Amino acid sequence: DAGVIQSPRHEVTEMGQEVTLRCKPISGHNSLFWYRQTMMRGLELLIYFNNNVPIDDSGMPEDRFSAKMPNASFSTLKIQPSEPRDSAVYFCASNKIDRNTGELFFGEGSRLTVL
Amino acid sequence: QQQVKQSPQSLIVQKGGISIINCAYENTAFDYFPWYQQFPGKGPALLIAIRPDVSEKKEGRFTISFNKSAKQFSLHIMDSQPGDSATYFCAAKVEGGYQKVTFGTGTKLQVIP
């Protein structure tokens, strides 16, 4: 089975540019999560979707960040304009909410560097 | 406010030794405690998990010990191997439906030959 697929794996951009990260969840999973990982703050939940609907976006740091899930097989996380402090590894994860364990299946991440 | 505190931040263990990572939580509503393992360049993956109705769970060389009264749990890796070198995250959540998974800050384990 294909796992969670993220693209790009690496992104280097200059401050002020728009960044779009993409995620394809595991087929059949109805929940999707975007996490950000940094050395200082560890794994932070940015936003959670259930059945393509954003349920909890309290972790989105500011208005520069936005996320969409137009269908069950695709989600994007956009940063506009990007800043050096946005440099991090961004992970997408999915699961089936009706499985009580709530095991998260993570992609391999998108490493973002903002110069 | 960090709800799951993890220590140590990094750990070096000799091959064949025991690796121990500790976590403490604050929210007494948590009732599911997973551990995730992350190799460099990869996403975290579920390693082992425990519910508070048991004090210990063992899967191969990996054991979770759970102390509900102290609100603490730990991961023990017996006979540690170089292939166990990774970052380990403890986590906690309220089981069922959507409940936010709260992660610890991670422990970078290095097992040296």
Span A30-88, pLDDT tens digits: 899 999 999 888 899 999 999 999 998 999 988 999 999 999 999 999 999 999 999 99
Give the per-residue pLDDT at B71: 94
- Inter-chain residue contact B32 with A102, CB threshold 8 Å: yes
The closest of A80, A76, A71 to A90, measured between CA atoms, is A76
Q: What is the C-alpha separation between A82 and B62, in angstroms, rounded?
A: 41
pLDDT digits (tens, 9 = 90+) for B38-95: 999 999 999 999 988 899 999 999 999 999 999 999 999 999 999 999 999 999 988 6
Q: What is the C-alpha separation between A32 and A45, in angstroms, rounded?
A: 11
Q: Is B83 on the interface with A (CB under 8 A)?
A: no
Instruction: Please identify among residues 25-54 of chain B the ones whose CB lies closer than 8 Å to any CB of chain A.
Output: 32, 34, 36, 41-46, 49
Q: Where are the beta strands (DSSP E) in B1-113?
A: 4-7, 10-14, 19-25, 33-38, 45-50, 56-59, 62-67, 72-77, 86-92, 102-103, 107-112
Residue A11: enclosing H or E segment and its boundaries?
A: strand A10-13
Residue A66: enclosing H or E segment and its boundaries?
A: strand A65-71
- Please list, in sequence order, all residues whose beta carbon lies within 8 angstroms of the beta carbon of residue B69, skipping any fewer than 6 positions away: none
Contacting residues of A for B46, CB less than 8 Å apart = 103-104
Give the per-residue pLDDT at A39: 86
Which chain A residue shows the shortest CA-CA distance from B105? A42
Give the per-residue pLDDT at A2: 84
Which residue has better confidence, B49 or B2? B49
Q: What is the C-alpha separation between A36 and A90, in angstroms, rounded?
A: 4
Phi, psi of B63 (to 5 degrees): -135, 135
Residues of chain A contacting B, Cβ within 8 Å: 4, 31, 42-43, 45, 48, 50, 55-56, 91, 93, 97, 100-109
